[in-house]
């Protein structure tokens, strides 16, 4: 019979990987708590309409990348392709705005996009992300960008490319949009088929098309930042002063528009050189109209999301040692059946007391057991042969020095020994 393998674009995390993931997850929860965010967990699937309305009908995600299915009552549901729309839905559904003020939420978990898989791009991937609702202040934009960047810095990734742009608001963006359409319409024939389709509906997306002929066509396009209204212009200027004060180095990228219709004003991305084509570690921006578009009172918002797989690719490629290996603190090597029986209750008792202890379950030779312990990186091995058992003793071997010490085969004595060796 043929073997069944994982679906395209998904993967298994094996024990060595999950140890790293868990370590990273702890660090993620820690930084969000330090910055004053509360964790929100939303369902893995939502009504399709939420993403159609929230992300935008003409975006790549909604047009071609969603995993959409009908439930048994023929309702259209979609596996969440991102977290922002769900967070806004939950914010409204549970009235998290309460009596006003700023609501700071973060999330962590799997997202699903039916994209062509490649290095750093999966169909099920994990994001951690932040959403801040209720403030128009550019200090919030700067705080969100600082959090995103500082997390990488903590992990030792400091050579980051932070790209920043402002894409205006419903007051000023239509002016730019019309200018773009006007300038690009005569060049329609030279655009890729995707951009030809998008020109009238979503012309800003043409700016970040990687197709060389589209890049040529948009080469001399005026900058969006030159057509910002007074409010968007001043917001952007204040944000730049705040980022300089942290300091966070960034560069202005007038082609950065991002693939979601909800953005207004600030958009940003953090890139890492080692990632190849899929080089964005994280991305985000302001969405001052999304809450209203989802049926709430006008409420500004800003957030970002970051890919966990891509972060791990960067950490692995740099051999950054931020992870603590899960090495047992003691390996007990029983020799013979009587020793195995004596070791077993000890093993369980030590584990129940919180010690990380391993043993052999294959009845192997001492040499083989020492080899296994060495491979695990264990520094202490307790050897229990027939002689030791008869004398109610256990031989403790320090693997680094091969130094050995006989101690009583007694639970409290072993604990005391482990404590002094720690
Ligand atoms: P996004 O740029 O689509 O933004 O995704 C954020 C990050 O998720 C990317 O920079 C990348 O690291 C990771 N990512 C995206 N797609 C994939 C994939 N197929 N495979 C692996 N990693 C991927 C958002 O999702 C917005 N919701 C961010 C946001 C929050 N804006 C405001 N608030």
Structural domains present in the chain: 15-172+228-318 (3.30.930.10), 330-421 (3.40.50.800)
Phi, psi (rounded to 5 degrees) for 195: -70, -35
Three-state secondary-structure class, residue 335: coil
Our answer on whether the CB atom of 305 is closer than 6 Å to any ligand 1 atom is: yes
Q: Does residue 321 have a pLDDT over 80?
A: no
Across the range 193-210, mean pLDDT stands at 88
In percent, how much of the chain has pLDDT > 70?
Answer: 100
Ligand 1, residue 310: give the atom nearest the CA.
12
Instruction: Decide: 309 in ligand 1 pocket, CB within 6 A.
Output: yes
Closest Cα partner for 156 from 304, 252, 274, 35? 274
The reported pTM is 0.91
Strands 45-47 and 161-166: unpaired
pLDDT of residue 63: 92
The reply to whether ligand 1 has any atom less than 6 angstroms from the CB of 307 is: yes
The two structure tokens encoding residue 183: 């300038």
With a pLDDT cut of 90, the percent of the chain lying above it is 85
pLDDT band per the 50, 70, 90 thresholds, residue 222: confident
| Residue 310, ligand 1, Cβ within 6 A | yes
How crowded is the C-beta side of 304, counted as CA atoms within 13 Å? 26
Complete DSSP assignment for 203-262: GGGGGG---HHHHHHTTTPPPGGGG--HHHHHHHHHHHHHHHHTT---EE-TT---S-TT
How many angstroms does the Cα of residue 386 sit away from the middle of ligand 1? Answer: 59
> Which residue bears the tokens 């679906």?
7
The encoded tokens of residue 20 equal 């790293």
Ligand 1 site-directed mutation target among 32, 37, 61, 82, most atoms within 8 Å of CB: 82
At 324-350, the pLDDT tens digits run 777 899 999 999 999 999 999 999 999
DSSP secondary structure letters along 267-284: EEEEE-GGGTTS-EEEEE
Contact status, residue 45 vs residue 78, Cβ threshold 8 Å = yes
Ligand 1 center–CA 322 separation, angstroms: 23
Whether residue 4 is preceded by a cis peptide bond, meaning omega within 30 degrees of 0, is: no
Which of 283, 289, 291, 300 for mutating ligand 1's site (highest number of atoms within 8 Å of CB)? Answer: 283
Q: What is the pLDDT of residue 358?
A: 96
pLDDT of residue 322 exceeding 80, the answer is no
**Rounded to 5 degrees, what are φ and ψ at 175?**
-65, -45
CB contact at 8 A, 51 and 66: yes
């Amino acid at each position: 019979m043929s073997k069944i393998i994982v679906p395209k674009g998904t993967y298994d995390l094996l024990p060595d990987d999950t140890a790293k993931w868990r370590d990273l997850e702890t660090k993620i929860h820690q930084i969000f708590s330090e910055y004053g965010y509360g964790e929100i967990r939303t369902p893995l699937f939502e009504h399709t309409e939420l993403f159609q309305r929230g992300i935008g009908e003409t975006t790549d995600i909604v047009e071609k990348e969603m995993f959409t299915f009908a439930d048994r009552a023929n309702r259209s549901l979609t596996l969440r392709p991102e977290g922002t729309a769900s967070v806004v839905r939950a914010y409204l559904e549970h009235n998290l705005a309460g009596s006003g003020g700023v609501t700071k939420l973060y999330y962590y978990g799997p997202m699903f996009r039916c994209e062509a898989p490649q290095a750093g791009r999966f169909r099920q991937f994990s994001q951690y992300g932040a959403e801040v609702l209720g403030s128009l202040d550019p200090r919030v934009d700067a705080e969100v960008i600082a959090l995103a960047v500082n997390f990488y810095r903590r992990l030792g990734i400091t050579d980051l490319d932070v790209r920043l742009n402002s894409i205006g608001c419903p007051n000023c963006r239509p002016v730019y949009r019309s200018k773009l359409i006007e300038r690009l319409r005569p060049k329609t024939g030279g655009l890729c088929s995707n951009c030809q389709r998008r020109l009238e509906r979503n012309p800003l997306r043409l700016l970040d098309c990687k197709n060389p002929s589209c890049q040529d066509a948009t080469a001399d396009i005026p900058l969006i930042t030159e057509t910002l209204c007074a409010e968007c212009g001043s917001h952007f200027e204040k944000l730049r002063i705040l980022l300089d004060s942290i300091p966070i180095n960034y560069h202005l990228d007038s082609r950065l528009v991002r693939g979601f219709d909800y953005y207004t004003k600030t958009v940003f991305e953090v890139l890492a050189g080692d990632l190849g084509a899929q080089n964005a570690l994280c991305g985000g921006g302001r969405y001052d109209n999304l809450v209203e578009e989802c049926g709430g009172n006008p409420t500004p918002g800003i957030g970002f999301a970051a890919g966990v797989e891509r972060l791990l690719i960067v950490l692995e490629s740099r051999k950054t040692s931020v992870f603590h290996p899960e090495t047992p603190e003691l390996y007990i090597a029983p020799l013979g059946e009587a020793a195995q029986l004596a070791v077993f209750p000890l093993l369980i008792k030590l584990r129940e007391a919180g010690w990380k202890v391993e043993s052999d379950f294959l009845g192997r030779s001492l040499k083989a057991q020492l080899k296994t312990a060495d491979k695990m990186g264990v520094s202490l091995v307790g050897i229990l042969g027939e002689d030791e058992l008869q004398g109610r003793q256990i031989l403790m071997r320090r693997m680094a020095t091969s130094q050995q010490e006989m101690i009583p085969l007694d639970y409290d004595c072993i604990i005391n020994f482990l404590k002094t060796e720690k």
